[in-house]
Amino acid sequence: MRRTVPSVLGILVAAAAVLGALAIGLVVVGQPSTAGAGALALPHQVALSAVRYDEPPLKVLLVGDSMAGSLGVGLEELAAAYNVQLANAGHPGCSLSMDGEILLTYYPASPGRPCVLDRPSALLAAWRTWVDAFRPDVVIYLARSDLINQQLDGVWTHVGQRRFNAWYASRLRAGIAVLGSRGARVVLMTVPVSQQQTINPRPEDNPRRVAENGALLRMAAAAAPRGAVSIYDLSELLTPGFTYRSSADQLPLRCADGVHLTADAGVVVAADLYPRLWALAASHRVLGGGGWVHGAVPSSTPPWYRRLPCA
261 or 308, higher pLDDT: 261
Q: Using a pLDDT cut of 70, give the percent of the chain over it.
A: 85
Residue 125 pLDDT exceeds 80: yes
The mean pLDDT value for 17-43 works out to 35
Distance, in Å, from the CA atom of 135 to the CA atom of 141, rounded to the nearest integer, reads 16
105 or 142, higher pLDDT: 142
Is the peptide bond preceding residue 201 cis, with omega within 30 degrees of 0? Answer: no
Q: pLDDT confidence of 43, banded at 50, 70, 90?
A: low
Distance, in Å, from the CA atom of 19 to the CA atom of 306, rounded to the nearest integer, reads 7
Ranking 9-13, 48-52, 82-86, 127-131 by mean pLDDT, the lowest is 9-13
Distance, in Å, from the CA atom of 265 to the CA atom of 8, rounded to the nearest integer, reads 13
pLDDT at 45: 75
109-112 contacts: CB < 8 A, separation 24 or more?
A: 109/24, 109/25, 112/24
Decide yes or no: CATH 3.40.50.1110 for domain 56-306: yes
Q: Which residues pair with 99 in a beta bridge?
A: none
pLDDT at 33: 38
**Phi, psi dihedral angles at 277 (to 5 degrees):** -65, -40
In tens, the pLDDT along 168-209 reads 999 999 999 999 999 999 999 999 999 987 777 889 999 999
Q: Which of 24, 62, 38 is nearest to 245 (CA)?
A: 38
Residue 306 pLDDT exceeds 80: no
Distance, in Å, from the CA atom of 84 to the CA atom of 269, rounded to the nearest integer, reads 14
pLDDT at 305: 80
For the chain, domain boundaries: 56-306
In tens, the pLDDT along 250-280 reads 899 998 888 999 999 999 999 999 999 999 9
